[in-house]
């Protein structure tokens, strides 16, 4: 599907979808339990891959009305799957359940689509191997398809912290039900620390204790500066009252807030609901917009963020802990005056696509002036003038939504190809954008 977007004046109230990050972890945590109900889960392609994995390991997942999943878990002892587990395009699923597979007393094969089979899994495979598990890439390149053969007893292992925080989350979640527990030593600085905080928060809500070691807690991020993590074994996953409620997703909110900041009509506001505080690092989008001069206010008690059309100025942002915000920030930089410098972004090249290169390439097609370096992306807003063009979505939901926001203020019509891939995290994104007044059509 392609989407065609014209300059628009937005206003109104919208709700972002539930958090994809929390939904993944909650579904798998319920799988590790003997059963739980997950309320307000995100219903999109990636979490469905995690649901399929839970079922492959012997659990069951059933809809309980429109807003809940009733999950019967495998109680910490996954079965050997009857078939290959297809993680589709979900990197979170593959990494989290690779460690789950290590617990099974037998072999598991995991694969995914072309994009997922190009993403790095090597450090997690190496860690599991060091813990006594057979963990191999069938092509010997550290990429899926993967073959995992347990069982995993636990132990102490070293792993880099700067490739993907999901490796750490995977080992912490699985380590809680091992005999020995797992002690992780980080060989490099931790990137994306707020995502590990999300894992720690979900574990705590399911009655499981895991702790960072040597953390500084900088910026209120519990895992910031950690040089390791410890999770004791023989723990039981059991949320209070057998229930877990998924919070709203700040990564998805970022596109609506950016859209309001650049395209809200005169005298209009965009109000985003479902913005209750949580461990999500991507709530930093509120501070980033404020630093760029946006008229934005967050009522944390009500869980509402209000933003008006604003004259933005460039800023400097490090995305070491918030990699998913890079596409949104890049689009804001193309509209702002002055330079917007996105630093510490080399790890963002290892997402669904190389998002640094993708945003540089496609924003240039729209008329932005961009300088791309290995770990820095600079958008020269004062030298940019956005005009409609056909841009590629790279089968990447975050690239697609960010380019759609740019289309709201680019002269003429902007066409984003492959726009149906928003289904990964925000299936009704274009319906929501249209309800706020965006002039768009799909074909």
The residues carrying an active-site annotation are 324
The answer for residues whose C-beta is within 8 angstroms of residue 48's C-beta and 6 or more apart is 88
Q: Is 252 annotated as a binding residue?
A: no
Residue 129, token pair as written in the block: 């191997």
Q: Is 222 annotated as a binding residue?
A: no
**What gap in Å lies between CA 136 and CA 143, rounded to an integer?**
9
Closest CA to 165 of 329, 283, 50, 281: 281
Q: Is 119 annotated as a binding residue?
A: yes
Q: Is 121 annotated as a binding residue?
A: no
Q: Is 435 annotated as a binding residue?
A: no
Beta bridge pairs of residue 271: 13, 306
The answer for residues whose C-beta is within 8 angstroms of residue 37's C-beta and 6 or more apart is 30, 64, 68, 69, 70, 71, 242, 243, 244
Asked if residue 70 lies in contact with residue 243, where contact means CB atoms within 8 angstroms, the answer is no
How wide is the angle at C-alpha 196 spanned by C-alphas 202 and 134, nearest 5°?
95
**What gap in Å lies between CA 188 and CA 60, rounded to an integer?**
38
Q: Is 398 annotated as a binding residue?
A: yes
Q: Is 20 annotated as a binding residue?
A: yes
**What gap in Å lies between CA 366 and CA 403, rounded to an integer?**
9
The answer for residues whose C-beta is within 8 angstroms of residue 376's C-beta and 6 or more apart is 341, 342, 343, 344, 345
DSSP letters for 271-289: EEE-----S-GGGHHHHHH
List the strands of the sheet with 295-299, edge to edge: 12-15, 269-273, 304-308, 295-299
Q: Is 349 annotated as a binding residue?
A: no
Q: Is 355 annotated as a binding residue?
A: yes
Closest CA to 23 of 54, 65, 58: 54
**Backbone φ, ψ for residue 70 (5° rounding):** -95, 115
Beta bridge pairs of residue 137: 146
Residue 429, token pair as written in the block: 């994104």
Q: Is 192 annotated as a binding residue?
A: yes
Which helix or strand (DSSP H or E) is residue 15 part of? Answer: strand 12-15
Q: Is 165 annotated as a binding residue?
A: yes
How wide is the angle at C-alpha 390 spanned by C-alphas 386 and 396, nearest 5°?
100
3-class secondary structure per residue, 218-269: HHHCCCCCCCEEEECCCCCCCCHHHEEECCECHHHHHHHHHHHHHHECCCCE
- Residues in the annotated binding site: 20-21, 25, 91, 119, 164-166, 192, 324, 351, 355, 398
- Residues in the annotated binding site for 3-phosphoshikimate: 20-21, 25, 164-166, 192, 324, 351
- Residues in the annotated binding site for phosphoenolpyruvate: 20, 91, 119, 166, 355, 398
């Amino acid at each position: 599907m392609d989407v065609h977007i014209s300059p628009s004046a937005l206003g109104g109230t919208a709700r972002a979808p539930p958090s994809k990050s929390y939904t993944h972890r909650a579904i798998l945590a319920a799988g590790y339990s003997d059963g739980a109900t997950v309320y307000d889960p995100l219903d999109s392609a990636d979490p469905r891959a995690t649901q399929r994995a839970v079922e492959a390991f012997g659990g069951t997942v059933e809809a309980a009305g429109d807003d809940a999943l009733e999950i019967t878990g495998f109680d910490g002892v996954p079965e050997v799957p009857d078939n290959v587990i297809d993680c589709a395009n979900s990197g979170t699923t593959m990494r989290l359940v690779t460690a789950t597979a290590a617990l099974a007393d037998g072999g598991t094969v995991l694969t995914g689509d072309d994009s997922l089979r190009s993403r790095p899994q090597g450090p997690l495979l190496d860690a599991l191997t060091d813990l006594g598990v057979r963990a191999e890439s069938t092509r010997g390149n550290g990429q899926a398809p993967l073959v995992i053969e347990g069982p995993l007893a636990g132990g102490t292992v070293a792993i880099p912290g700067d490739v993907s925080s999901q490796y750490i989350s995977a080992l912490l979640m699985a380590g809680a039900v091992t005999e020995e527990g797992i002690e992780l030593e980080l060989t490099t600085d931790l990137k994306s620390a707020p995502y590990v905080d999300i894992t720690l928060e979900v574990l705590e809500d399911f009655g499981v204790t895991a702790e960072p070691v040597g953390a500084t807690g900088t910026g209120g991020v519990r895992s910031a500066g950690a040089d390791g993590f410890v999770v004791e074994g023989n723990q039981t996953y059991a949320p209070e009252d057998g229930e877990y409620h998924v919070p709203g997703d700040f990564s998805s909110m970022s596109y609506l807030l950016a859209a309001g900041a650049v395209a809200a009509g005169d005298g209009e506001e965009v109000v985003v609901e479902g913005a209750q505080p949580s461990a999500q690092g991507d709530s930093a989008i509120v501070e980033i917009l404020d630093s760029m001069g946006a008229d934005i206010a967050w009522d944390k008690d009500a869980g509402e963020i209000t933003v008006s059309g604003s004259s933005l100025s460039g800023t400097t942002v490090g995305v070491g802990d918030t990699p998913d915000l890079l596409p949104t920030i890049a689009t804001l930089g193309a509209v702002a005056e002055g330079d917007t410098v996105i630093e510490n972004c080399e790890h963002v090249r290892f997402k669904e696509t190389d998002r640094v290169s993708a945003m540089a390439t496609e924003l240039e097609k729209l008329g932005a002036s961009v300088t791309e370096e290995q770990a820095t992306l600079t958008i020269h807003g004062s030298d940019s003038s956005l005009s409609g063009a056909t841009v590629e979505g790279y089968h990447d939901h975050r690239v697609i939504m960010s380019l759609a926001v740019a289309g709201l203020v680019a002269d003429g019509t902007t066409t984003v190809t492959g726009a149906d891939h928003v289904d990964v995290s925000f299936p009704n994104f274009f319906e929501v954008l249209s309800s706020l007044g965006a002039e768009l059509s799909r074909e």
